Amino acid sequence: MDEFEIASAQEDADRNALITIQLQRGRLARAAARHAADGRRVCVHCDEPIAEKRLAAVPHATACRECETVAEQHAAHYVRRNAWAV
Protein backbone atom coordinates (compact mmCIF):
# COMPACT_ATOMS: atom_id res chain seq x y z
CA MET A 1 0.00 0.00 0.00
CA ASP A 2 1.27 3.45 -0.82
CA GLU A 3 0.70 6.53 1.36
CA PHE A 4 -2.41 7.58 -0.57
CA GLU A 5 -4.08 4.18 -0.05
CA ILE A 6 -3.19 4.21 3.65
CA ALA A 7 -4.63 7.71 4.08
CA SER A 8 -7.73 6.78 2.11
CA ALA A 9 -8.27 3.65 4.23
CA GLN A 10 -7.89 5.67 7.43
CA GLU A 11 -10.33 8.29 6.16
CA ASP A 12 -12.86 5.54 5.40
CA ALA A 13 -12.39 4.06 8.88
CA ASP A 14 -12.84 7.47 10.53
CA ARG A 15 -15.95 8.21 8.44
CA ASN A 16 -17.45 4.83 9.36
CA ALA A 17 -16.73 5.43 13.05
CA LEU A 18 -18.47 8.82 12.92
CA ILE A 19 -21.46 7.33 11.09
CA THR A 20 -21.71 4.65 13.78
CA ILE A 21 -21.65 7.33 16.49
CA GLN A 22 -24.39 9.31 14.72
CA LEU A 23 -26.57 6.20 14.32
CA GLN A 24 -26.10 5.40 18.00
CA ARG A 25 -27.12 8.95 18.94
CA GLY A 26 -30.23 8.57 16.79
CA ARG A 27 -31.19 5.37 18.60
CA LEU A 28 -30.61 7.11 21.93
CA ALA A 29 -32.75 10.07 20.88
CA ARG A 30 -35.62 7.73 20.01
CA ALA A 31 -35.21 6.06 23.40
CA ALA A 32 -35.55 9.41 25.19
CA ALA A 33 -39.30 8.99 25.48
CA ARG A 34 -38.76 6.71 28.47
CA HIS A 35 -39.92 8.20 31.75
CA ALA A 36 -39.31 7.38 35.38
CA ALA A 37 -42.21 6.34 37.60
CA ASP A 38 -42.76 9.97 38.63
CA GLY A 39 -42.97 11.12 34.99
CA ARG A 40 -39.43 12.50 34.75
CA ARG A 41 -37.22 11.53 31.82
CA VAL A 42 -34.46 9.08 32.60
CA CYS A 43 -30.90 8.69 31.32
CA VAL A 44 -30.54 6.01 28.64
CA HIS A 45 -27.24 4.89 30.16
CA CYS A 46 -27.78 4.74 33.93
CA ASP A 47 -31.61 4.90 34.18
CA GLU A 48 -31.39 7.76 36.69
CA PRO A 49 -33.73 10.74 36.24
CA ILE A 50 -32.28 13.59 34.16
CA ALA A 51 -32.04 16.80 36.20
CA GLU A 52 -34.66 19.45 35.47
CA LYS A 53 -31.89 22.04 34.99
CA ARG A 54 -30.30 19.87 32.29
CA LEU A 55 -33.64 19.39 30.52
CA ALA A 56 -34.25 23.14 30.68
CA ALA A 57 -30.85 23.76 29.07
CA VAL A 58 -30.98 20.80 26.65
CA PRO A 59 -34.63 19.80 26.10
CA HIS A 60 -33.69 16.87 23.83
CA ALA A 61 -31.18 15.41 26.34
CA THR A 62 -31.18 11.62 26.50
CA ALA A 63 -28.48 11.28 29.14
CA CYS A 64 -27.68 12.82 32.49
CA ARG A 65 -24.76 15.22 32.67
CA GLU A 66 -22.36 12.63 34.11
CA CYS A 67 -23.09 9.97 31.48
CA GLU A 68 -22.97 12.51 28.65
CA THR A 69 -19.56 13.73 29.85
CA VAL A 70 -18.22 10.17 29.87
CA ALA A 71 -19.66 9.50 26.39
CA GLU A 72 -18.15 12.71 25.00
CA GLN A 73 -14.74 11.92 26.49
CA HIS A 74 -14.88 8.40 25.04
CA ALA A 75 -15.85 9.68 21.60
CA ALA A 76 -13.18 12.41 21.65
CA HIS A 77 -10.52 9.89 22.65
CA TYR A 78 -11.58 7.48 19.91
CA VAL A 79 -11.55 10.12 17.17
CA ARG A 80 -8.32 11.72 18.42
CA ARG A 81 -6.55 8.36 18.74
CA ASN A 82 -7.60 7.16 15.30
CA ALA A 83 -7.07 10.44 13.49
CA TRP A 84 -3.31 9.90 13.69
CA ALA A 85 -3.22 6.15 13.18
CA VAL A 86 -1.47 4.94 10.08
74 vs 49 pLDDT, higher one: 49
Using CA atoms, how far apart are residues 7 and 12, in angstroms rounded to an integer? 9
Over the stretch 37-51, which tens digit does the pLDDT of each residue have?
667 788 888 888 899
| Residue 39 exposure: Cα atoms within 13 Å on the Cβ side | 0
Binned at pLDDT 50, 70 and 90, residue 67 comes out as very high
Binned at pLDDT 50, 70 and 90, residue 4 comes out as confident
Phi/psi region, residue 36 (left: phi>0; alpha: psi -120 to 50; beta: rest), is: beta
Residue 81, pLDDT score: 56
Strand partners, 41: 35
Residue 52, pLDDT score: 92
